[in-house]
Amino acid sequence: MSAVEKAFHGLRHMIGTGRLGPGERIPPEGELCEELGVSRGSLREAVRMLAALGVIEPRHGSGTYVSQLRPEDVIGSLSLTLELLPLSGLLEVYEIRRVLEAHVAAQAAARCTPENIRTLFSLIDAMEATSDPAEASELDHRFHAEIARVGGNPTLATLLAVFRARSRKYQVFTLPEGPELRRKSDDDHRVLATAIADHDPVAAAGAAQAHVAQTERWLRAFMPPVEEVERVEAPGSAD
């Protein structure tokens, strides 16, 4: 096992076994190097790995702390990488998103309060009022995030936020067809919010699913034609 792996697994084991609990400060680099038997450089690489994964958090001058280890903490790490995926691989993500958005919409329909509903409709109003695509995209995000929040599962809300962020990169509303797409999108939002306000989980799930499917169709239709060339596996001769 390499030095970095040794440090990585050693640290992970300390956290997994409870020797280092959520929020706790881990020993300084010097001590860990001695205990794990690696140099500071290797230890620091392992620390950076765990930090990228949302497990620990170094603070300059203070120390390195274990995160709260909530599911959101580790799932949030996906946001750093999901936007690197090529569009072709994204359709599978959309299928997942469709299923989960439908679920949170149904949950929201069952749990929502009058105040939640007011918030949703005020977001829709603001969305329809603005002409700035960037602001519309931001409000769209907040609308769906609010539904996910009302759904009652922060982990699921985080996961969906990550998926949505990936889609937003494409800025579909800035296309020539943007205004028409936005009108259709606004209609979808009203249908969805109404179903939630009616406490109708089935209608809400259906509306959410249809909305995501619609977005997916737009992306496929208007985005640069996905390169259909098969992936070149090897940069060399036959690697």
CB closer to its own copies, 89 vs 179: 89
**CB nearer to DNA: pick between 14 and 207:** 14
Listed in sequence order, the residues at least 6 apart from 3 whose beta carbon sits closer than 8 Å to its beta carbon are 38, 39, 42
Is position 95 an interface residue for its own copies (rule: CB under 8 A)?
Answer: yes
The reply on whether position 14 binds DNA by CB under 7 A is no
Q: Going residue by residue from 44 to 63, which x/- string records binding to DNA, judged by CB under 7 A?
A: xx-x----------xxxxxx
Rounded CA-CA distance 219/224 in Å is 9
Token pair of 2, please?
């390499």
Across-strand partners of 121?
A: none
Candidates 6, 48, 141, 199; binder of its own copies (CB under 8 A) is 48
- How many CB atoms neighbour CB 219 within 10 A? 17
Question: Is residue 105 at the binding interface for DNA, with CB under 7 A as the rule?
Answer: no
- Binding of its own copies at residue 179 (CB under 8 A)? no
Asked if residues 42 and 7 have their Cβ atoms less than 8 Å apart, the reply is: yes
Contact 133, 173 (CB under 8 A): yes
Q: Which two tokens stand for residue 113?
A: 């309060």
Residues in contact with its own copies by CB under 8 A are 4, 12, 15-16, 21-25, 41, 44-46, 48-55, 65, 68-71, 74-75, 77-78, 80-86, 89-90, 92-93, 95-96, 99-100, 103, 153-156, 159, 231-235, 239
